[in-house]
Structure 1
Amino acid sequence: MISPTAAATLLPFALLVGFWVSWSDLKFMKIPNQASLVMLAVWIVVGILVVPLKLWALGLGLAAAVLVVTFLLNAIGAIGGGDAKFAAAMAPAFIHANITMLCMIYIACSLGALAAHRLLKYIPPFRRATPDWKSWTHKGFPFGTTLSATLIFYLLAVVSPLF
């Protein structure tokens, strides 16, 4: 697991990119390639300053492995291409993560994002404020919201003294 200091350093960048990814996925049902590249660049530039070199390099290896697996998932239609690229770009932050904690965060974020999206879809003032969001009528779910939330809540959990 990365240190609390490293997580705290990466968190502001993850928040900015995470909000960008979530908004874009909700509005356009697309995650911009630039967002994934920025997230990976954060690991390359900032990560090397706050994570031991061996963990930093392993993080890049994890990103490559996740990219291969998620591209295979994309090829069979299980996930979108933007989701695959963003998952790979954020993967280095999870190097040596407590897998149980990470899975619990992922499940909670998945359920929370799905419930919030489905609920807000039927609240007239919110719907009027966001009439052009493709996610309201698209058959798929804007999974970038789940991915972003998982990254942010994981980093918050690492920073927290409870873990």
Structure 2
Amino acid sequence: MILTASQALWLLPPVLPICLYVAWNDMRAMKIPNWSVIALVVVFAVFGLIAFGIQDWAWRWSHLAVMLVIGIVANAAGAMGAGDAKFIAAAAPFVALGDAVMVMYILAGCTLAGFVVHRIARHSPIRRMVPDWESWTTGKRFPMGLPLGTTLICYLAWPIVFG
């Protein structure tokens, strides 16, 4: 893993509440608000500079641009929601290029786990606690903010937990 524990310690605390909000709000309303995506970009702009240094920080902005273009194309093709595409683009600078494969594995695991937990919760007493969540009644649609936010949290926590 290229991300160090020191870098992760700078990034995880400000990223964690944003990702938790994105996961919660996507389940509640099936939307990832623009302000949360902007907040993630601002966190990278400030804390990324401290964590990575100017040269690495500057290059990582290209990750945002590349993933935004890919996300726009995927959204236009109907493969993902616009909020998902924007969140992925905003999260991309946090991920070292050399860690991209690992992040894909984390995303796969978080997507599978999130889907299973969400579907079980939809048919459990938990649903009575939050009956107005839009994600309960969207048919086959799934709130990807849940695994996307969880993936970024797991990636940033990994070097802190596992060294």
- Residue 73 of structure 1 deviates from its aligned partner by 0.2
Q: CA RMSD in A?
A: 1.2
Q: Percent identity?
A: 37
Question: 2:10 matched to 1:9?
Answer: yes
Answer whether contact 1:25 1:145 (CA < 8 A) is retained.
yes
The 3 A distance-change label for structure 1 pair 16 and 97 is farther
- Residue 101 of structure 1 deviates from its aligned partner by 2.0
In 2: Cα distance, 1:80 partner to 1:91 partner: 17
1:23-46 deviation digits (Å, cap 9, x = unpaired): 110000000000000001000011
Answer whether contact 1:2 1:96 (CA < 8 A) is retained.
no
Q: Which residue of 2 aligns with 1:47?
A: 48
Q: Which residue of 2 aligns with 1:96?
A: 97
Question: 2:150 matched to 1:116?
Answer: no
Answer whether contact 1:39 1:90 (CA < 8 A) is retained.
yes
Q: Which residue of 2 aligns with 1:105?
A: 106
1:75-133 deviation digits (Å, cap 9, x = unpaired): 01100000010110011111234233222211110101000100000112x11110100
The 3 A distance-change label for structure 1 pair 156 and 46 is same
- Residue 156 of structure 1 deviates from its aligned partner by 1.0
> TM-score, with normalisation over the residues of structure 2?
0.94
List gaps (5 residues or longer) in structure 1. none
1:31-80 deviation digits (Å, cap 9, x = unpaired): 00000000010000111112121211121110111000001000011000
In 2: Cα distance, 1:57 partner to 1:83 partner: 24
- Residue 8 of structure 1 deviates from its aligned partner by 1.3
Q: Which residue of 2 aligns with 1:132?
A: 132
> TM-score, with normalisation over the residues of structure 1?
0.94
Q: Which residue of 2 aligns with 1:80?
A: 81
Residue 16 of structure 2 aligns to a residue whose secondary structure is: helix
Runs of 4+ in 1 over 6 A off after TM superposition: none
In 2: Cα distance, 1:135 partner to 1:105 partner: 23
